[in-house]
Amino acid sequence: MTQEEILSNPLLAPSPHPFSAPAFDLIKEEHFMPAFEAAISMAKEEINEIANCPEPPTFSNTIEALEYAARPLSRVEGIFFNLLEADSSEVKEQIADKVSPMLTSFSIYVSMNEALFSRVRSVYEACRSNGYKGMAKDQIRLLEDSYLSFKRGGAFLEGKAREEYSETMEDLSLLELSFSNNSLAASKEFTLLLDSEDDLEGLPDYVKESAFNEASEKGMKGWLFTLDRPSYSPFMKFSARRDLREKMWRAFSTKAIGGHYDNRSNIDKIISCRMKISSLLGYETFADYALERRMAGNPEEVESFLSSLMEPSLVAARKEVSDLVAFARSEGFGEDEFMPWDFAYWSERYQKKLFDIDETLLKPYFRMEDSLEAVFSLAGKLYGVSFKPREDIPGYHPEVRVFEVLDEDGKHLALFYVDPFPRKSKRGGAWMTEFMGQYEYGGVDYRPFVSIVMNFSRPSAQGPSLLTHDELTTLLHEFGHSLHGMLSKCRYPSQAGTNVARDFVELPSQIMENWAYEKEFLDSFARHYLTGEKIPAEYIDNLIKARNFQAGYLQVRQLQFGVLDMAWHTLKEESSAGVVEFEKNALSSYLTLPYVEGTAISPTFGHIFSGGYSAGYYSYKWAEVLEADAFSLFSENGIFDKATASSFRKNILERGSSEDEMVSYVNFRGHRPEAEALLKKLGII
């Protein structure tokens, strides 16, 4: 690519926007392929220069040079892969198919580069032997991490093993992509179109309205329900039609099992690739390999962590289910067996009876716009930051809003992109991401471009976008991740923001969820969207009481995911059971509801098969323990206490992984985290 071609490609050229924000207004799909090609070839040149440097290897000309190499490629990747999730298209999917193997082969080019590795190794050995003299903590960690990445990336492998390793890595990246495409497609494959009012029994108006709109948009008459969460969950909670709930539940629980988008063979192949990779690298199982660089450290630690929570939680969960069944029978459920498709519906009614609370009562008080404002002002109270709309900076879709985040002293901290509503081009769920993370280079502090992507129900002719309390909690969660990105104050990009151990990364997000249950916070913004009336105090009281409703059941559900993940990733040889059977066996001791033949979670369990949480799902619970323990300090000192918040900012949010995560944690809390804090918080013990 010539200099001129580079300058005419908005993915590579300097951005015309403030803060060098991504030029989404100029980027077209045809820019991606040439940008990837050019950025990869530039990155290769940089790598060659470092590897073939005539000077003797030093920390600066080798480790730091490597850390800062391939910045243009990171930028293109950051933009492309986020758009692939949030605003996809057939063309983007085709580009991803082409680019994924190119990127894998580039990363292998780096990790298998003998000249480069020998320089890294000699810097590592020299620094170690002189006791890391003159090095800062973040530099020592960077050095150790670089060395370990080479080791874990196969740099020690030779000959046939080396070839096998590269081939397996390439296969794996394609299989993971195919898994994720299948999950998405399988989820869109099923819809339930209802054409009679009788079929809508029990559904609140807002659910009917959005189903009606969903149908109209597709030119259909009636009410259309899908397996996307905002459609599926309310249906399961409110539909009084047991037959239809069963139909929806079965469709949801057999996604990607059989049919056009079957993921079963992808799973077998993914697991077998991962086993091969870990065994080539000298680890007993994939979990041993994956956990080496986490807070937990090894599979035994994770298994004992999960079972220390599982035992008391299972007792609580089974009691909760039997209470629920007794309630259902007393309300006319009859003598039928209580099935999984009955759970959400009867829980909703039981909860309403116990706490006189349901989503439809609360929803009108949580206007999406107000909730977002409230979350911004919470960040203001805690950390002194403020959010200024920047309509002059383009988003990647007309519905995306861009804010500038400013520190207490007015200093620019970050750009924040908010993308609230579902689209066909967007995958389901909610997530935080970055187009570019924070880092320092050459005396300049490069501030990040952070984004949250949600699937809240969109405003309609009938009214504004309203959040359920769950969605408000999700917003706080993703916003917590965002703060971790925005407030980052690190030198090295690989240590900045959310680049921390997988089992630490959910601490900043999960701790924010606590504010969704604080009266003082809710009172500050929750007003009825029609009457302007403040949220009634009894609603908040009930919300707080309801918080631990079925806490044991929900905890067991999460622990089941963790157990299943560990079962797949501690395999030492391929399982011949078949995916559905394997899962059934792994979870058989932890059931709280009857098992339904032929159903399974694994075929759409993207977290572990395509999302980077392999042998890592436990980390949600691990982080909950950290969070329960950490939030108790806010509870003691006051939920808006500035001193506590600023210690959390300084020790946790700014630190990234420039410091050992356990050290950061203890610096904030004053002691190591304890599982008991969570069991107590949930009322299980």
Structure tokens at 271: 């697991």
Please say whether the beta carbons of 244 and 234 come within 8 A.
Answer: no
Residue nearer to Zn ion on the CB measure, 506 or 565:
506
Residue nearer to Zn ion on the CB measure, 72 or 656:
656
Determine the interface stretch with Zn ion among 15-23, 42-50, 505-513, 531-539 (rule: CB under 5 A): 505-513
Residue nearer to Zn ion on the CB measure, 358 or 506:
506
Tell the smallest beta-carbon distance from residue 481 to Zn ion (Å): 6
Tell the smallest beta-carbon distance from residue 86 to Zn ion (Å): 16
Determine the interface stretch with Zn ion among 228-236, 301-309, 384-392, 509-517 (rule: CB under 5 A): 509-517
From the list 478, 513, 583, 654, the catalytic residue is: 478
Structure tokens at 565: 């993940």
Tell the smallest beta-carbon distance from residue 494 to Zn ion (Å): 20
330: buried, middle or exposed (CB in 10 Å: 19+, 13-18, 0-12)? exposed
Please say whether the beta carbons of 398 and 414 come within 8 A.
Answer: no
Tell the smallest beta-carbon distance from residue 509 to Zn ion (Å): 4
Determine the interface stretch with Zn ion among 38-46, 236-244, 501-509, 595-603 (rule: CB under 5 A): 501-509
Closest residue to Zn ion in the complex (CB): 509
Q: Which of 455, 474, 509, 619 binds Zn ion (CB under 5 A)?
A: 509
Distance CA 677, CA 685 (A): 10
Strand 449-453 and strand 412-419: the pairing is parallel
Please say whether the beta carbons of 277 and 284 come within 8 A.
Answer: no
Structure tokens at 112: 């298998």
Side-chain half-sphere exposure of 426, counting CA atoms within 13 A: 21
Tell the smallest beta-carbon distance from residue 505 to Zn ion (Å): 7
Residue 684 one-letter amino acid: I
Residue nearer to Zn ion on the CB measure, 42 or 496:
496
Determine the interface stretch with Zn ion among 11-19, 234-242, 282-290, 499-507 (rule: CB under 5 A): 499-507
Distance CA 644, CA 97 (A): 47
Tell the smallest beta-carbon distance from residue 208 to Zn ion (Å): 31
Number of residues this chain uses to bind Zn ion (CB under 5 A): 2
Tell the smallest beta-carbon distance from residue 345 to Zn ion (Å): 28
Active site residue 55: no
Residue nearer to Zn ion on the CB measure, 303 or 506:
506
Distance CA 504, CA 287 (A): 17
Phi, psi dihedral angles at 545 (to 5 degrees): -65, -40
- Interactions with Zn ion, residue window 9-38 (CB under 5 A): none
Structure tokens at 259: 């049919």
Tell the smallest beta-carbon distance from residue 479 to Zn ion (Å): 10
**DSSP per-residue codes, 384-440:** --EEEE-TTS--SSTT-EEEEEE-TTS-EEEEEEEE-S--TTS-SS-EEEEEE--EE
Which of 267, 284, 244, 62 is CA-nearest to residue 175? 267
Tell the smallest beta-carbon distance from residue 506 to Zn ion (Å): 5
Determine the interface stretch with Zn ion among 180-188, 290-298, 507-515, 609-617 (rule: CB under 5 A): 507-515
Tell the smallest beta-carbon distance from residue 431 to Zn ion (Å): 8
Please enumerate in sequence order all residues whose Cβ is within 8 A of that of 194, keeping only pairs 6 or more positions apart, or say none: 200, 211, 222, 223, 224, 225, 244
Residue nearer to Zn ion on the CB measure, 23 or 500:
500
Which of 485, 473, 486, 469 is CA-nearest to residue 627? 473
Determine the interface stretch with Zn ion among 170-178, 405-413, 442-450, 503-511 (rule: CB under 5 A): 503-511
Residue nearer to Zn ion on the CB measure, 482 or 509:
509
First to last CA, the chain: 64
Strands (E), 128-242: 191-194, 223-226
Residue nearer to Zn ion on the CB measure, 582 or 618:
618
Residue nearer to Zn ion on the CB measure, 471 or 506:
506
Task: Point out which residues pair with 405 in neighbouring strands.
Answer: 387, 414
Q: How many CB atoms lie within 10 A of CB 78?
A: 19
Which of 339, 370, 396 is CA-nearest to residue 21? 396
Residue nearer to Zn ion on the CB measure, 342 or 478:
478
Which of 256, 248, 242 is CA-nearest to residue 223? 248
Please say whether the beta carbons of 590 and 310 come within 8 A.
Answer: yes
Helix/strand/coil for 491: coil
Determine the interface stretch with Zn ion among 457-465, 498-506, 624-632, 636-644 (rule: CB under 5 A): 498-506
Residue 469 one-letter amino acid: H
Tell the smallest beta-carbon distance from residue 294 to Zn ion (Å): 16
Q: Please, what is the angle between helix 619-637 and helix 661-669, to 10°?
A: 20
Please say whether the beta carbons of 402 and 391 come within 8 A.
Answer: yes
Helix-, strand-, coil-residue percentages of the chain, each rounded to 5 = 60, 5, 35
Using alpha carbons only, give the angle 646, 650, 651 rounded to the nearest 5 degrees.
115
Determine the interface stretch with Zn ion among 60-68, 400-408, 504-512, 635-643 (rule: CB under 5 A): 504-512
Residue nearer to Zn ion on the CB measure, 180 or 509:
509
Q: Tell me the catalytic residues.
A: 478
Using CB under 5 A, list all residues that contact Zn ion.
506, 509
